[in-house]
A and B are shown apart, each in its own frame.
Chain A
Amino acid sequence: MLNVLVFAALPYVSAVLFLLVSIQRYRRDPFTFSSLSSQFLETKGLFWGSVPFHLGILTLFFGHLLGFLFPRQMTLWNLVPVRLFILEASGLAAAFLTLFGLGGLIVRRVSTPRLRTVTTPADILVYLLLLFQIVTGLWVAIALRWGSAWYTQTVVPYLWSLFKFQPEIQRVTELKLAAQLHIGGAFVLFAAFSFTRLVHALVAPVPYLWRPNQLVIWNRLRGGARF
């Protein structure tokens, strides 16, 4: 029963929450879309937290995404032991980097009095969820080694089955507890995503890289941005 709730119901609940809330929030309340940077109040500690955390988590995110999108290619890549070893080692390194960064961020937030005034309950939730995710992820990586190999054979087909609306939950219910916690935690994180500052990832300023330098907006032209 719990398995059905976590692996068949929760994914859809979190997907609906993620989509609806973030779209509605962007339309109704764009003012709340912000990275809520606290560098202005504390900058030295942020360097040791924010940089490793972001580099680590982006590596991990795209690693998971690659496995999800190209499971065949990743399996083929892993056929050569050295390559599997490199992939596993980089994943593990990124996880430790993320943990180091997140730990730094948490220590900084707790030990800097100025930051307490700008810490919301949602921030604490974000810290707890991310910490849970990274700790369970590391647990998986260390206790259930060669994850990049079995991930593409178990979790990826399960995730695709979710998109086909025929959840094959037996593919993940037979996994070890660590992996199940990591998957369940991901759905919770996903569900909470659009209620927190994490939404800043959705508005990452990638188009800036090819935008013209100056931006001029005319009052009398509707939607009339002109460069």
Chain B
Amino acid sequence: MDVRAQVSMVFHLDKCIGCHTCSIACKNVWTDRKGAEYMWWNNVETKPGTGYPTAWEDQEKYKGGWEKTGDKLEVRAVGKVRGAMTVFHNPNLPTIDDYYEPFTYSYQDLFDAAEGADQPIAKPISMITGKPMKIEAGPNWDDDLGGSPVYAANDPNLENISPEERDAVFELKNLVFFYLPRICNHCVNPACVAACPSGALYKRGEDGIVLLSQERCRAWRFCVTACPYKKTYFNWGTGKSEKCILCYPRLETGQAPACFHSCVGRIRYFGVVLYDAEKLESTLAAEEKDLVMAQRKMLLDPNDPAVIAAAKSNGIGEDVLAFAQRSPVYKWVVEWGLALPLHAEHRTLPMLFYVPPLLPVMAATGEKGYDTTIEGGFLGTIDKFRLPLRYMASLFGAGNEGVVRYALRKQLAVRTYRRAVTVGDVTMEEAKKLLAEAGCSVEQAEAIYYLTSIAPVDDRFVIPPMHREEAIEMLDSPLAAKGFAGMGFRRKPERGA
């Protein structure tokens, strides 16, 4: 057993209100720079929708992720040989127009305009050319289903549902959406790392954070194509790729990443999980529909004495193990089976998991508005959800409806149970019957309820000690780096010649 520790995340989508506070926190800290204006390491998109960059899930166009042919796993489009063929021009590289041209406004015109009959206006100015431009896209252009006939209707996941279901989703009085906040998944089998010809991308051994060395990046751009989530970005100013660093400087001082810390809806959970690196190959060999379960099985029980012993012999500290035992992620993903990886079919083993949303739940509106007398009571039934189960399975189940159904059913049961406790319009027998059917004990229901609704910050963000005191930089002389920018990077990030 080759036990490794991996920092991991859960986003509870039922709690996301789509406020974009996470995006702004990240933008202010990391990407408010020339060449990075268009980057949103954290973005929030509306589903159904095309997201950011536009239609990033359309792998016919972007060719991201891994491709399994027989037993062989290869990076799609930009693997070793395929990459060598496209190094001079990469046909699958998204361009700035697939994201959006960053813009500001000529605010000074509001002050400097000559007196006249009309109000002065601030014209949109391109942040690339500095010239006036027409704004045609933005990072959340189809927010809240804005322009849904144009944008949301092109959501690649909708291809998996029937035309009738499609029509139902976009029927005006039934209009339905939820939010999907996305950051780098810090995958266990990252396609970006495998695709980087210069070895600039790497996984940090101690915590599994995927980082991109600015000093080794040579702008071969394969990482941008290889990431199926389009979470590596090309800085057009410096000529280097960049990505989410999971705020590792914050983590190393025991603070949650900026997007986690600022989350208004408290939808985010952070914890460390253990996995067996020896099981990677068998996990990746799984059939597409089994991928979610295979990934779950790859995660090790932090309370198992055999796992603890193997982890210790692999150099994982006792204190890290203690944090792994308290990890909320392990509970959501493994113990409860509620949190699922996004688009697991790309075989990158993403370590950001989503609790699929229950809301909005009502399947049909009667003549007099919502009809709560239909089957399933006030929540309706899973099969009559306004967003079809197959759509959810396309996002969170790698096509497997079973895992999504299990997660939704358990959430429904917990909710009904809590309604029996607090409101009382459902009998306790009925609630317990639902719990039993969903494979959930009363204790587990209470624990799910606690972590969903009550948990204070220390229960949501269980940040393991990062042991910076053992890092190699600690052996370097601090005086040698006095007056420099820190974090191992000692020059102004300006474009080279």
Contact = CB atoms under 8 A, between A and B. Distances in A.
B491 A31 contact: yes
Contacts of A39: 89-90, 93, 95, 221
A218 interface: yes
Nearest to A42: B95
A51 B89 contact: yes
Interface string B51-92: 000000000000000000000000100001101100111110
A215 to B, nearest CB: 4
B197 A43 contact: no
Contacts of B470: 219-220
Given A39-B90, A217-B204, A31 B221 contact: no
B205 A226 contact: yes
Interface stretch (B18-26, B123-131, B177-185): B123-131
A31 B128 contact: no
Contacts of A53: 88
B216 interface: yes
A36 B203 contact: no
Nearest to A29: B491
Contacts of B203: 214-217
A158 to B, nearest CB: 31
Given A40-B93, A195-B497, A226-B205, A203 B129 contact: no
Interface stretch (B232-240, B298-306, B411-419): B232-240
Given A31-B491, A36-B495, A216-B202, A43 B218 contact: no
Contacts of A122: 497
Contact of B128 (A50, A114, A218): A114
B394 interface: no
Q: Which has the most chain B C-beta neighbours within 10 Å: A33, A34, A35, A200?
A: A34
Interface in A20-72: 29-43, 46-47, 50-51, 53-55
Contacts of B311: none
A26 to B, nearest CB: 10
A199 to B, nearest CB: 8
B194 A34 contact: no
Interface stretch (A8-16, A76-84, A178-186, A204-212): A204-212
B96 A200 contact: no
A60 to B, nearest CB: 15
A170 to B, nearest CB: 37
Interface string B420-464: 000000000000000000000000000000000000000000000
Interface in B161-220: 189-190, 193-194, 196-199, 201-206, 214-220
Given A54-B88, A213-B194, A220-B470, A36 B496 contact: yes
A143 B238 CA distance: 43
Contacts of B480: none
A218 B201 contact: no
Contacts, number: 157
B467 interface: yes
Interface in A112-142: 113-114, 116-118, 120-123
Q: How large is the interface on A (under 10, 10 to 19, 20 to 34, 35 or more residues)?
A: 35 or more
B395 to A, nearest CB: 26
A20 to B, nearest CB: 16
B130 A214 contact: no
Given A209-B80, A214-B203, A215-B202, A50 B491 contact: no
A196 interface: yes
A208 B94 CA distance: 23
Given A208-B197, A220-B467, A37 B129 contact: no
Contacts of A205: 87, 197-198, 218, 220
A116 B130 CA distance: 11
Nearest to A121: B497
Given A37-B239, A114-B128, A214-B189, A208 B199 contact: yes
A164 interface: no
A34 B88 contact: no
B15 to A, nearest CB: 34
A29 B495 CA distance: 12
Contacts of B117: none
B205 A34 contact: no
Contacts of B83: 208
A171 interface: no
A50 B497 contact: no
Nearest to A192: B497
Contacts of A224: 205, 472
B467 A203 contact: no
7 contacts: A36-B219, A37-B220, A40-B236, A43-B93, A51-B89, A120-B495, A209-B81
Q: Which 5 A-B pairs have the closest CB atoms?
A: A32-B496, A205-B197, A218-B205, A122-B497, A36-B239
Interface of B: 75, 80-81, 83-84, 87-91, 93-96, 128-131, 189-190, 193-194, 196-199, 201-206, 214-221, 224, 234, 236-240, 315, 467-468, 470-472, 475, 489, 491, 493, 495-497
Given A40-B93, A219-B204, 6 more contacts: A31-B238, A36-B219, A42-B95, A50-B89, A219-B467, A219-B468
